[in-house]
Structure formats: C-alpha cells, structure tokens
Structure 1
Amino acid sequence: MSISKEEFKFNDRLIKGIETKGRFKISVVKTTDVVQTAKDNHGLSLLNTVLLGRTLTAAMLLASELKGEERIKVQMEGNGPVGFLIAEANRVGEIRGYSQNPTVELDYSQPDVSIGDGIGLGLLTVSKTLYNEAEPRTSTIEIVEGDVLSDMAHYMVQSEQVLSAFLLDVSLKDNGDVNQAGGLLIQRLPEADESVMKTLQTTVKELSPVSNFLEDGHYIDAIMEEACKPFPVKELDRQPVHFFCRCSTDKFKNALSLLSYEDLKELKGEDQEMVCHYCGSKHTVSEEEIYSIVESAKAKLN
C-alpha cells in the first residue's frame, strides 16, 4: 500500500542533535509503527504493549550511541506476571523484542495497583555487542519501579554514570492499538556543568508527553527543540527505524545442526515448525531437510 508524501514525512525515525556549545547531546525517536508491529506480531495485552513499547523505544535510544551494526539488548526480568521483557536494537535502526507472557493483564480494580507491578521486583540488564570485542559488555542493576522509564533513568546514573534525562511514552487508542509512541534521551557531555543538566531535567519533567506532540502533528524535530530549551541545538543525523528481525529458515536449520544425533533422531519423520521469539515469524524445516541434517550428524559419529 502506497503512502502519501505527508505520511512518509511522519514515519518512525530517530534524530540526533548536539547543543551548539557541545555541552550535551540528544536523541529523539518516534516508534509508533514499531510498537504496533510488536503488538500485532505477539498479540500483546494493553499492559505488555506499553511496557514492551517503552523497552523497545529505550533500546533504540541507547543504540543511537553505537556504530554500524553494533547492537544493544535491554532485558527487564521481575517477579510480576509479565515475567521478562527483551528488546534489541542496532545503530542502523532495526528493533525487535518480545514478552515472556504477552497476554497477561493487571487487575486495576485492586487498590494501589500500578503498571510497574507488571514486571515487579527484579533486575534490569543492558548488554552491548561491540566491534572488536569477543564478549558483550553487560551491566545489571535492580529494578526500581518496573515502569521502564524510571528504571532506564536509574540505569544511566548507576551504570553509565552520565547525567541524563530520559522520556519514554506509549499511548493507546480506545481499541487497544497504538496511538503514538516515542521517547528522548539527553546526555551530558564533559564540557557541561551540572546546572545545564538540572535545567534540562526540569524542562523534560515539565514537557508534554511525546505522544501529545505527535498527536498534535509535531514531529521529532520540534520535540528536540522543545526538550532542549533554552539551549539551541543542531542536528547531527537522522535515520528511519523499524521493527525488523534477521531470523530465517536457514538460521533455524543451522541451529538444528548443532543438536546431538540422539536429539535429532527424534525429529525424523515430520516437518518441524519453529517460531522466532523476537518477531513471531514461523519457519518450517521440511522432513527431507530434517533427514539431511540427521544423516550429516550421523556421519560425524563415524
């Protein structure tokens, strides 16, 4: 289906900017279609749509600091009914993720129930897969609120040790679909004193939700400008972002080939359908292909 020029202008994108005096940098992202795709692919409940949507958005904002196809993974795992959420993004704008229990919902008729109860108490883990490093860099902190936003802000202070301002927002329509989604991340640079960041943190705290800006027809450029007041910023880069997974049938076949001969023998005689956790795509490995993999494993034993 083709879209108009006007619609194309408002596609999901990320914009990066820097204050003209080099005291802080900012990334702003619109993830409305990304979050809606995740909802459709995984059949997310309203609770999961908001929580996973925020996590996907946060992962993309963190990935904006990487290079090329370096990637970042954000995992929130707690004792709440959601279990865990995983979101992964890379610098080229590919985002994917899933929830352990995608259909669970909270009973908001109960007193003192908040969205953070979906995840509950647990751990937030951020892993960065970087060029020229054999193992990912991993940081883990305790979850403070479970609402993702508070936890990501806490992560920036505790693990990255960078004064920052985080904003994550997912709003829903009456039918449960995604209305608007997006977020922003401002990070202090070495030339800035703390007063600059305190001013920005106050500005961001008082800023209208990102979804309101988008709903009113404002794009990420306007959000960047408003969030950085009274400091002028200049654009460094912009790129499209989208829900995208690199899973394939060949990758699933390669994974099967790593199983032992005894395990593979149990798969003979029928097609195998596999579902990707990250994107919900189904991949079928035919009976003939299974037979070939089993025979190959058998040959390795001789």
Structure 2
Amino acid sequence: MISKEDFAQKDRLIKGISAHGDIKISVVKTTDVVRTARKKHNLSLLNTVLLGRALTATMLMASELKGEERIQMRLEGKGPVGLLVAEANRVGEIRGYVQNPEVELNYSDDQTSLGDGLGVGVLSVRKTLYNEAEPRTSSIELVKGNVTDDVAYYMVQSEQVPSAVLLDVGLDDQGAITEAGGVLVQRMPDAPEGRIDEIQQKMLHFDPVSELLAGGYYIDDIMAKIMEPDPVKELDRQPVDFFCRCTRNRFISALAMLGPEDLQEISDEGQELVCHFCNEQYQVSKSEIKELLMQTKAKMN
C-alpha cells in the first residue's frame, strides 16, 4: 500500500502564471513514467535519457491542450537510435518507444556526445485537436539531438513562442533512474521585452531538475524557485502516468481492416501482435483470423 509521503510525491504536472500575467510555466515530474518506459522496452542508458526527455517534453507541451487532445513527437536521425516516438494527451497519459532500444554509444571516446545517438535528423510534432479534421504537423531539423535543445528550438521556430526548456533524467553510478522531470516557461504576448531572456539565462545555471527532486523539492517548489522573486499563481495540477490504450480488441479490429488477400496470407497460423508504444503482446488464433476472413468475404458479396 502506498504511503502518504509517496503519494504526495507521485508523478504530476503543475501549471502556473506569474503575478503580472506575462509568463506561463509548467513543471512535471516523470520519474515513474520513465522507469516504466525503461522496463517495458528494456532501454539502454542512452535511450533511457533520450526517450525520458522526449516523454517529459510531450507532457509539458500537452499541458497547453484541451480535454483528450494529444501531441506526438517523432525524432528520426541517422544515428544508431534511429526513430524515437513520444506521445501525450491533456489528461496525463504518456507513452513512447524507440526503434533500437538497446543501442549504446562508445563513451570512452571523449568526442562522443548524447546527440550522437540520434545524429543528423528531423524533429516532427503532430497535434490532434478538437474541431480539426486533420492533425497539425510541423517539423524542424535536429539542432543538437539531445532532445532538450531541439524542443527549445522547435518552440521558437514552429510555435513562434519564446520559451525556456529544461528536461532531465537523472542516473546514479549503477545506471538506475534517480528522478526525472522538466520545466517549460513561455512568454505571454504582452510580456515586456527581455523578460523571457532573463529567465532563459537563469535556467542556464539552474540545478538539474532530477537533483532538485532528489533533494526534496517538489514541482511546486521548483516552479516557485524558477519564478522567484516574482510570485506565481497555480492554474492547474494533474497526475501523469505511462499509459497506453491498446487492447486485444483494437488489434483484432485493425486486422479486420485488411483485405481478403492479406488475411488469406496469414490465415494458416496464429499471429502475435505487439504494440510499439507499450510492448504489450497479443495472441490472435488461427481460427479468429479465418473468421475475420469469412466476414470480409461476406461483406464483399
């Protein structure tokens, strides 16, 4: 049974606004989210940090959405990681995966950097919004490949909102995740010139979010620390979790969309279907596939 202390420190996101209404801030703790992602996908240290940062970033960006609107971030590069996908919605459900989860870099080389995992590539963001028939998609070239700098650059180039971003996954000497979380600060339209620049400079010298969380700071404290000496008003807070809505029935429904030729091709044996996002495995029997084939042929008659 979870203790009151542990419950009070669960993964959550908090949103706030400065007393003058010129700066918005979101702070999220994603420690359990990243630990769950690592366990589900058997992530290397490299991918634990990269995917952990991406999961954290998508949740911070999703905090600006409504209801069950969602945002998906894809980072695809020529490095060994290949493709990295993270997705979150406004209600706090986060999920993601990496194309090559077990790859690692050669850290004995002094020239090696975290960004070498993705290398040269593209960051794409897709938003699925209410009242819009098609998702909005925008892309930029990766500037560093470390996720943090790429997301900050995306916010300025594509969202055209001056922003400051901190994304952090802390690891101890044994490679275990200590804490994970992030901060997104955005300038409001009426903010005085240079306001966000001051905060950006402050955050350059800010303690890592993981160290603050490990030191007893919670999301409220981190929000206040970044905004001090200005007071900040809390707007909202919510729990966040690694959560995937995949089900066996959804996978069978997807199989039912195949044409009779494709179903005929796989009808001689059962199928194991795996969800990319959460690595859950679903077994579909030979008889179920044959039943889908019969239903598909019946619809065509």
Judge same fold: TM > 0.5, yes or no. Answer: yes
Aligned length: 301
Equivalent-residue separation in structure 2 for 1:75 and 1:248 (angstroms): 23
Equivalent-residue separation in structure 1 for 2:141 and 2:192 (angstroms): 28
Post-superposition, which runs of at least 4 consecutive aligned residues in structure 1 deviate over 3 A?
A: none
Residue in 2 that maps onto 1:250 = 249
Query: Which stretch of the first structure deviates more once superposed, 146-155 or 224-233?
Result: 224-233
Equivalent residues in 2 for 1:125-140 (5 A)?
125-140=124-139
Equivalent-residue separation in structure 1 for 2:9 and 2:26 (angstroms): 16
**Is this contact kept in 2: 1:98–1:279, CA < 8 A?**
yes
Equivalent residues in 2 for 1:169-208 (5 A)?
169-208=168-207
The DSSP-based 3-state class of the residue aligned with 2:123 is strand
Residue in 2 that maps onto 1:101 = 100
Equivalent-residue separation in structure 1 for 2:173 and 2:255 (angstroms): 43
- TM-score after normalising by structure 1: 0.98
Residue 84 of structure 1: CA displacement? 1.1
Instruction: Write the deviation string for residues 132-187 of structure 1: whole angstroms up to 9, x where unpaired.
Output: 10111111001000000000010011011111110000011333231110000000
Percent sequence identity over aligned pairs: 61
Letter of the 2:209 partner, please give it. Answer: V
Letter of the 2:19 partner, please give it. Answer: T
Residue in 2 that maps onto 1:277 = 276
Residue in 2 that maps onto 1:292 = 291
Residue in 2 that maps onto 1:166 = 165
Equivalent-residue separation in structure 2 for 1:194 and 1:150 (angstroms): 22
The DSSP-based 3-state class of the residue aligned with 1:226 is helix
Letter of the 1:83 partner, please give it. Answer: G
Residue in 1 that maps onto 2:71 = 72
Residue in 2 that maps onto 1:111 = 110
Equivalent residues in 2 for 1:191-270 (5 A)?
191-270=190-269
Equivalent-residue separation in structure 2 for 1:300 and 1:111 (angstroms): 62
Equivalent-residue separation in structure 2 for 1:176 and 1:282 (angstroms): 27
Equivalent-residue separation in structure 2 for 1:104 and 1:200 (angstroms): 36
Equivalent-residue separation in structure 2 for 1:72 and 1:193 (angstroms): 30
- TM-score after normalising by structure 2: 0.98
Equivalent-residue separation in structure 2 for 1:30 and 1:112 (angstroms): 31
**Is this contact kept in 2: 1:200–1:229, CA < 8 A?**
no
Letter of the 2:8 partner, please give it. Answer: K
Instruction: Write the deviation string for residues 246-278 of structure 1: whole angstroms up to 9, x where unpaired.
Output: 001111011101111111012224322111000
The DSSP-based 3-state class of the residue aligned with 2:278 is coil
**Is this contact kept in 2: 1:69–1:90, CA < 8 A?**
yes
Residue in 2 that maps onto 1:33 = 32
Residue 195 of structure 1: CA displacement? 2.0
Residue 300 of structure 1: CA displacement? 2.6
Instruction: Write the deviation string for residues 160-218 of structure 1: whole angstroms up to 9, x where unpaired.
Output: 11111100000113332311100000000012012211111122111100001110111
The DSSP-based 3-state class of the residue aligned with 2:194 is helix
Equivalent-residue separation in structure 1 for 2:173 and 2:274 (angstroms): 30
Two-structure CA RMSD over aligned residues (Å): 1.0
Residue 106 of structure 1: CA displacement? 0.3
**Is this contact kept in 2: 1:72–1:128, CA < 8 A?**
yes
Letter of the 1:92 partner, please give it. Answer: V
**Is this contact kept in 2: 1:203–1:228, CA < 8 A?**
no
Equivalent-residue separation in structure 1 for 2:299 and 2:123 (angstroms): 41
Residue in 2 that maps onto 1:8 = 7
Equivalent-residue separation in structure 1 for 2:94 and 2:190 (angstroms): 32
